[in-house]
């Protein structure tokens, strides 16, 4: 319990520090970013929205500490302001809509890649030096060496434009209204196949290489040798003695990947015009929609901190040796 309390306080302090940086960034910019947003929006924003934008960034009348407290209170109450590009849509509503698509696509791809990469790395390490190990290792290194934008563009051109097997954009058929119907879910699945496979191809290689290297370093440990000497089956030694401990560094990689899920896969979502958080952030940058950019930064920070907290807990569960130190 004391361990959990310490970690919660630590990550809460880290989130407040990130929010503080987010507070001071607009004030370090030349000029007044709120006035710049208001003027660039043209006729999209009514004059009374100027005060709302100032409140969003903490640019209120009063001393700096009062502005800072106003800004923190707006964060913890979930008030991230109003989008400039999609006025009068609140930032929380905009990010909430994109969140569903990103979690469905990037989250699913991350979990599939972690499971597949860990399994391939485990088997390749156990049979190191074999033909299977060579094929898996070379394929994994090849997948990680290709930039995600190249993989996405090649997949889009070959399977989308040339062969016409999959749609080239959007999350579903624009002619269909979102509903709990078989036709709508089939359209969502059809549109997600190509970006999902592309993301899995990019992510699986990294998990495979990490798992293989970690497990090879553990195969010579005394407890693995002792387990083999006791006559335990190869499958049991491989999974419960070697792979279990080799998973610890891989779980850290998974945490980083899951933390970036709420940031969206910027390249993949932009290439496939997928309405996730990454594409939303990209559109906000182009439109200089600072409330959305600022809100997205806070969401990404919170997601990364939560994922790292879950890793701290999972480390204790996976490695019994850490329970005493925890």
What is residue 107's predicted lDDT score, i.e. its pLDDT? 82
What is residue 31's predicted lDDT score, i.e. its pLDDT? 58
What is residue 130's predicted lDDT score, i.e. its pLDDT? 83
**Kind and range of the H or E element at 41?**
helix 33-41
What is residue 10's predicted lDDT score, i.e. its pLDDT? 83
What is residue 326's predicted lDDT score, i.e. its pLDDT? 46
Taking alpha carbons only, the member of 81, 74, 27, 94 closest to residue 52 is 81
Domain annotation for the chain: domains and CATH numbers: 94-289 (1.10.3720.10)
Burial of 121 (0-12, 13-18, 19+ CB in 10 A): buried
Contact 98, 92 (CB under 8 A): no
What is residue 89's predicted lDDT score, i.e. its pLDDT? 78
Q: How far is CA 190 from CA 36, 197, 199, 259, 272, in A?
A: 41, 12, 15, 26, 13
Q: Which residues of the chain, if any, have pLDDT below 70?
A: 1, 3, 26-27, 29-62, 221, 223, 234, 240-242, 255-256, 258-264, 314-326
What is residue 26's predicted lDDT score, i.e. its pLDDT? 64
Question: What's the first-to-final CA gap in the chain, in angstroms?
Answer: 9
Farthest-apart Cα atoms in the chain, separation? 79
| pTM listed for this prediction | 0.71
């Amino acid at each position: 319990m004391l361990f959990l309390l310490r970690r919660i306080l630590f990550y809460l302090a880290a989130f407040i520090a990130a929010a503080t940086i987010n507070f001071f960034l607009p004030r370090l910019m030349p000029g007044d970013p709120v006035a710049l947003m208001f003027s660039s929006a043209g006729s999209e924003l009514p004059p009374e929205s100027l005060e709302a934008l100032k409140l969003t960034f903490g640019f209120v009348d009063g001393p700096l500490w009062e502005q800072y407290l106003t800004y923190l209170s707006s964060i913890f109450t979930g008030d991230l302001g109003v989008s400039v590009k999609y006025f009068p849509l609140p930032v929380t509503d905009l990010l909430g809509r994109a969140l569903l698509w990103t979690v469905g696509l990037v989250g699913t791809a991350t979990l599939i890649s972690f499971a597949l990469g860990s399994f391939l790395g485990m088997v390749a390490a156990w049979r190191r030096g074999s033909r299977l190990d060579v094929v898996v290792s070379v394929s994994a290194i090849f997948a990680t060496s290709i930039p995600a934008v190249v993989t996405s563009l090649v997949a889009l051109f070959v399977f989308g434009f040339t062969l016409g097997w999959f749609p080239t954009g959007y999350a579903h058929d624009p002619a269909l209204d979102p509903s709990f119907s078989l036709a709508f879910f089939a359209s969502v699945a059809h549109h997600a196949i190509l970006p999902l496979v592309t993301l899995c191809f990019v992510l699986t290689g990294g998990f495979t290489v990490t798992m293989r290297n970690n497990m090879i370093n553990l195969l010579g440990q005394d407890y693995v040798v002792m387990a083999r000497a006791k006559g335990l089956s190869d499958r049991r030694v491989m999974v419960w003695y070697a792979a279990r401990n080799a998973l610890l560094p891989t779980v850290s990689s998974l945490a980083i990947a899951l933390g970036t899920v709420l940031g969206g896969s910027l390249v993949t979502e932009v290439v496939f015009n997928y309405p996730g958080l990454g594409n939303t952030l990209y559109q906000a940058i182009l439109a200089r929609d600072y409330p959305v950019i600022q809100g997205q930064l806070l969401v990404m920070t919170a997601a990364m901190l939560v994922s790292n907290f879950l890793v701290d807990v999972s480390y204790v569960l996976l490695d019994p040796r850490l329970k005493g130190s925890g």
